[in-house]
Structure 1
Amino acid sequence: MKRLMIRADRSDDRDVRKGYITDGLEAGFSGFVLREGDECFEELGRMDAIYTHDNEFTDHSYISVSIDGPGSMEDVMSLAGKKKAVIVETTDWTMIPLENLIAAFDGSGTELYVSAKNSDDAKLYLTTMEKGVDGIIIDINDPTELSEFKRILSASPNEDLSEVTVVSVRRVEMGDRVCIDTCSMMSPGEGMLIGSYSNCLFLIQSESEDNGYVASRPFRVNAGAVHSYIEVPDGGTRYLSELRSGDDVLLCNGSGRTRVASIGRCKIEKRPLLMVTATDGMKEYSVILQNAETVKMVKKDGSESVTKLRPGDKILARIDTGGRHFGIPVDESISEI
């Protein structure tokens, strides 16, 4: 997970420094650079703070450096492996090959942070060479801009969803299924990507629609059997049985747009189950879900309850290639049946 920290130590006005912290906490940030003597600000909320004195970090395993040309860049690259973190500032990134810095620090044990004055630059720094830098130090004059930073930097990449065709829906034995209650409200068409195989995850809708039997619970996804995979932020997968309160999960809608939510509660209960099998024309994939009218799979034009699905129906899924090892994509052939 990339680290985002707000510089709240620049101003000589203590109230201004406090404003950066309160605005940052309200925007959802938890990392701050504070001025020595402002330790009491940690009482404003739980945070991860590092301190400066006369613009130098009091923890000497952190160092802030400025690059103004090729010579100073060589000096910065020589710090790889010698510090816990190096924070780089420059007035003109167009003359500094950021790719070279990322390559030099990769695998060195030293984290590379870059100071950003606006959210567009910060996004670029986090995605350069796909890997990006390890973190961003947000250094701005107006704390009201923090919400825009949070919006852009917390955005997750879109998913490429495909239509697959239902082959069969059949009852299987009673089993343990997981209900995921999040701290976020979801809309119809939005849910989580779940599947029995890591290379095909089906879009299971949240309980965001009223149905005449029970009230809607738009914070909940009845996700399926305990063995199932779920996609989590940063492109990994986990087993449903592993999830706990406070974990992050990925929400996705029918257009493939995603966002991150935190789990408030997971419930595992014995319930009657159905196995839905579908094909992309080349392979068959399946997912095991609770046999209940409230469990719905997302289609291009809405959703359909698993109890009403029929062979030939089209539903949305994310098809992947290769396999996974401990939830991480790997380029190898794996057969799952």
Structure 2
Amino acid sequence: MAAKSQKVGGKGSKSALSNPSQGKGDPKNKKKVTLEGDDETDEKEGSLAYKVLSEDQCKTLLGQDVVEMQSTLCDIFKLHNYPTDLRDAGVLDYYTGACWWGKEQGFTPQQLSGFFTVVHTLLDNVKEQHMAMVDNLKEFKKMLIGIDPEYQEIKSAGLDFFNTQQAKALTNYITSCLFQHYKLYELMFTQTQAEEIIGTDLEIETAKPASVPFPPPLDEGVTQETFASYIATPPPTPEPEADKNEDGLVGEVEEEDKGMEELDAKLDTDIFSELTVEDVREVIESVAKELLNPLQSEIAAKLREKENILIGRINKVHKVADEGSP
């Protein structure tokens, strides 16, 4: 019985340490409680809050939108290669989703820091230790110890600032976010990403040195020889030089022109001066005949046609008159 009562007393002293109000009767227990209450370092070491994210970082994250939150987490964990590195992209997306979910749940900075410690630890077990899913589930279960008020005598794992409903929501989130995709995370952290090297050959024509008179035309982008041969406007053709052979060639041309003009004028005057009155009359009569003969024949044909029409009408009248007489 003495041994049993001693055992019960030992259990009571342990309970008194966990709840200072129960140990007021024992000065030894009171001294222990006082020392533990004054030692803030021991409290921080026993809690999972502020292990990964500090209080200031949590306050900053809770006041940001999702884009700013992603940028802040990228700077904190040095995940700047996420546009090209699959691992950095997956980790950054995992962390951003967890912080945003904690903000939607209305977590305090302490709760957000403790929740992020859980999220970070579980993912680190996959990344660094290559822990199996069953072992990682056991680690997660250990972190939840001490939340339920029915088990206050059990030493808390450091998440005692959550209530039961929050612990259930936290469990559902981690189950759907991490454990349902556990094989995918294992594959991401164990397999190396294939590198794709894409190259393009470019030919760049550099400018000619300044020793030449002027560079090739920039608008056309061709060499000077091609520009001068096919693009540049050709120079004007030289005009004939009038100074050469002034006494010889130019003089002969002018004399030929003057001779032709004199010959034309002479021919005109000589032809009309030799014509007589009879010649002029014959010319006029011949021209008149050529112009009037077709008109005369046409007029005669029209007259004959009119005449035939009139004769036919007269014959009809006589015929009618003869038929009407008795």
TM-score of Structure 1 vs Structure 2, range by shorter chain? under 0.3
Superposition TM-score, scaled by structure 2 size: 0.21
Looking at CA atoms only, which structure, 1 or 2, has the larger radius of gyration? Answer: 2
Q: Which has the higher contact order (CA 8 A, sep 6+)?
A: 1
TM-score, normalising length: structure 1? 0.20
Instruction: Looking at secondary structure, tell me which structure has more strand per residue.
Output: 1
